[in-house]
Chain A
Amino acid sequence: MNDLGLAGLSVFGVLKFGFVLVFALYVVFAIVVVRQVNLMGETLKIGLDKILRVVSLLHFALVATLFLLALVVL
Chain B
Amino acid sequence: MPDIFINDPKSAHTPGPQQLVNQEQYPQVSLDMKLPNEKKHELYGHTHNPLAAYCYVPDHLNFETQDKKEKVVLLLRRHPITNLPWIIFVILMLFAPLLLIVFPVTAFLPARFQLISIMAWYVFVFTYAFENFLVWFFNVNIITDERIVDIDFHNFVYKEVTDAELDNIEDVTYTMGGPIRTMFNYGNVFVQTAGEAQNIEMLGIPKPDRVAKILQELRQEEEIERIEGRIR
Contact = CB atoms under 8 A, between A and B. Distances in A.
Interface of A: 1-2, 12, 15, 19, 23, 26, 29-30, 32-33, 36-37, 39-40, 42-48, 52, 55-56, 59, 62-63, 66, 69-70, 73-74
26 contacts: A1-B108, A2-B110, A12-B113, A19-B120, A23-B120, A30-B127, A33-B131, A36-B156, A40-B153, A43-B63, A43-B159, A44-B61, A44-B63, A44-B64, A44-B138, A44-B151, A45-B63, A46-B50, A46-B61, A48-B51, A52-B137, A62-B126, A63-B123, A66-B116, A66-B119, A74-B113
A69 B138 contact: no
Nearest to A41: B138
B161 interface: yes
Contacts, number: 81
Contacts of B159: 39-40, 43
A1 B113 CA distance: 13
Interface of B: 50-51, 58, 60-64, 75, 108-110, 112-113, 115-116, 119-120, 123, 126-127, 130-131, 134, 137-138, 140, 151, 153, 156-157, 159, 161
B119 A52 contact: no
Among A44, A45, A52, A63, max chain B CB count under 10 A is at: A44
A33 B157 CA distance: 9
A74 B116 contact: yes
Contacts of B116: 19, 66, 69-70, 73-74
Nearest to A62: B123
A65 to B, nearest CB: 9
Given A12-B110, A62-B123, A69-B119, A43 B61 contact: no
Contacts of A69: 116, 119
Contacts of A63: 123, 127
A33 B61 CA distance: 23
Nearest to B158: A36
Contacts of B63: 43-45
A43 B156 CA distance: 13
A55 B130 contact: yes
A44 B140 contact: yes
B120 A66 contact: yes
